[in-house]
Structure formats: C-alpha cells, structure tokens
Amino acid sequence: MESLSHDLVAELIQGSSSGFAALASSRLIERHPAVTQVYGSSAFSSWRFSLESWLLELAAAVRDELPALLGSHCEWMATTFEARGVKTRHLELAIACLGEVLGEELPPGGAESIAPFFEAAQVALKGRSSALECSTSADAIDVTTAGGKLATSFLRAALESDRAAARQLIQEALAKNGQSSQQLVTDVLLAAQRELGRLWQRDEVSIAEEHVVTEITRDLIRELLRTEARSPTNGHTVVAASVDGDGHDLGIRTLADLFELEGWRTVYVGTDVPRDEIVRAVEIYQAHLVALSGSLSQHREMIAQTIATIRSQVDRTVKVLVGGRAFDREGELWRRVGADGYARTLRAGVVKGRELLGIPEAP
C-alpha cells in the first residue's frame, strides 16, 4: 500500500493529537495497570498530557522526515520520566499503544509513513536500564572554570531566592574580574539557566524554583546590559519575537538587547506572537532583519509559516535569523523553514545578523 505524504500525516497527527492521546492512555491503563502507580488517581490525565506532547514531537519529526529527531526526544523524555519514578519500560508500552491507535485511526497508508519513526523511538529506549545513567551532562556547568564556579554560586543563591547575594556575586565579578556585562550574561547567567533546565529534567528542582531563578536572572540581565556602552547606530532595524505558541522569552529578549548594544534599532515584539502581527511589525518598522525563536519542535512549523508570510507579503528583502532548542538537535533544520541563517548561541546570533546584512563589525 502506498504511504501518505509526510506533510499530510503530520497534519493529521497534530490536529487529532488530543484524541489520539486519550485513546492510547485508556488502552495503556487498561492493559498495564502498573503504569498508574506513580500518578494514582490522575494517571489518565497525566499520561494523556505526556502522550499528546509526544505526538506533537512525532508530527514535527514526520514533517521534517527525520526519525532520529524523535529518537533524541525519546531519550530526553525517558530521563525526565525516570527522574519522577516512571519506568522507561512504561514509556515503551505507552508508545506501543500510540502506535496501535494511529495504525487504526489514520487513513490507509498512514501507518507505513510513521513506521520508521516508531522504530527510531523504540531503538532509542530499548535496553536503557537506567535513563538517568544514560543521560548526558551536556548542559551541566563546568565547575573547573572560573565562570562555571561563579555560575554555580549564583544558581545556589538564586535557588534560595536570595536576590541580594545573587546580585552581589555578579556585581563583584563585574568589578574585580574584568569581565564585561555581556560576558557575564552569556557565560554565567545563561549558563546557570541551562543548568537549571537540566536540574528540572532530573526532578531536582520544582517548577516554582525554576520560575524564581528565571525571574532573578531576567532582572540581572536587564540591569547588566543597561550598564554597557551602546555602539553607534548602524542604520538597521531588527524585529525579534517568539512565535505563536511559544511563551519562552529569556533568550530572544536577551538577543534583542545584544543587538541594540551593537547599534541596531531593536523592536522586541514579545512572546507567543501571531504570525500576522510579526509581519505587521516588519512592515511598520521597516525591519531589515527578523529574529525568530522556537523552543519546541512543534514551533518549527509556525516559524516556517511566519517566514513564508513575510516572503509573500513584504515587497522588499528581509533576512530571517532563527534559533532556539527547536533547531539545536539537527544542524540543517533552519534551512527547512526557509530562514537565511541560524545561530546556536546569542553571541553567534548577533554575528550572524551582521553577516546576513553585510554590516561591518562595530569598532
């Protein structure tokens, strides 16, 4: 039987993700009652939420025709689950139930299109005696460096909600160590945020603690960057935003601030911005560059739609730069959404923005 197109299958999965997740969760709990042990009376709603999120990741991987992306997400998910007492084997069972539901509910040819993605998921999970032991520490702070030690001390103070101590650590480093405000932001404060994300994944900090640290970090970033001297204006405008559905703002807001320090007129539109409003901002402010951020895999499709709308509705050349975790797992994903460039870090983003417009580096 001929398989369906990947775009159509992705659209069907995304559009019906909630219903598919509910069917799979009911089947999972009925067949394997042990999966309710961690969640208790909220087992159905908890599994439905997790499986709906997984389906959105599946849809994104199918759309990009990259099964490895789903395998990578499964490894991350297994670590997150095991840290909260959910066995990797239970996740395997849940994904198997999802596979059955999709095989029954998708039109003829749908199952053939998604088979390689389920194989990648099962391979990623198979044989993981301990997801926590198998997890990488790529986001961990390097405590052997001065910056790593400072980031660790800052994170410890912030987790205690000791704003004064956290601020003092950063101010002393600024005064005594000769580090610039930008260095402290990118190498210390944002490094601490990455470590915070790793700690949350391993269930070592709560959502409340994560929010407390993020707000302290946000305030300090704004304070530090206000002290930096701004380069002379370069005559160019950048519009920066997180797309519709993405509420994360720390990275894209900081990138906008760094562009401003480099002499750009910066228009920060905010988070969760509908594509038409991003296009409207491009036209109102006559932007030369658009910087778009996506945190999750499913945000890539909205970024692609936003870029396509910019190309079709703006009658002049506008360069588009993308970044965020939605693009970090595979180096060429940015090309698939129609962007002109991609940056993995904020510093690289400012450099890439200059390169895209041919702007010489500020003296």
Q: Which residues neighbour 11 within 8 Å (Cβ) at sequence distance 6 or greater?
A: 59
Span(s) in the chain for CATH 1.10.1240.10: 146-226
- Residue 224 burial (CB count, 10 A): 22
pLDDT (tens digit, 9 = 90+) per residue, 51-108?
999 999 999 999 999 999 999 999 999 999 999 999 999 999 999 999 999 999 999 9
Question: What does the angle CA 139 – CA 68 – CA 292 come to, to the nearest 5 degrees?
Answer: 60
| Residues in a beta bridge with 243 | 273
- Alpha-helical segments (H) within the chain: 6-15, 17-31, 43-64, 67-83, 88-105, 110-125, 131-134, 146-159, 163-176, 181-183, 190-201, 207-226, 250-261, 275-284, 299-313, 325-328, 333-336, 346-357
Q: Burial letters for 268-298: b for 16+ Cβ neighbours within 10 Å, e otherwise?
A: bbebebebeebbebbeeeebbbbbbbbbbbb
- Token pair of 2, please? 């001929």
Cα–Cα distance between 124 and 36 in angstroms, integer? 23
Q: What percent of the chain has pLDDT over 90?
A: 84
Span(s) in the chain for CATH 1.10.490.10: 6-134
Q: Which of 85, 177, 70 is nearest to 124 (CA)?
A: 70
pLDDT score at 63: 95
Domain at 237-357: CATH architecture? 3-Layer(aba) Sandwich (3.40)
**Is the Cα dihedral 125, 129, 132, 137 positive or negative?**
negative
Cα–Cα distance between 277 and 287 in angstroms, integer? 13
pLDDT score at 329: 86
pLDDT (tens digit, 9 = 90+) per residue, 37-47?
889 999 999 99
pLDDT (tens digit, 9 = 90+) per residue, 152-168?
999 999 999 999 999 99
* CATH tag, 6-134: 1.10.490.10
* CATH tag, 146-226: 1.10.1240.10
Q: Is the entire prediction scored with pTM above 0.85?
A: yes
Inform me whether the pLDDT recorded for 131 exceeds 70.
no
Q: Indicate the pLDDT class of residue 338, thresholds 50, 70 and 90.
A: very high
pLDDT score at 362: 67
Question: What does the angle CA 255 – CA 256 – CA 258 come to, to the nearest 5 degrees?
Answer: 65
Span(s) in the chain for CATH 3.40.50.280: 237-357
| Residues in a beta bridge with 270 | 241
Cα–Cα distance between 203 and 343 in angstroms, integer? 29
pLDDT score at 215: 96
pLDDT score at 360: 86
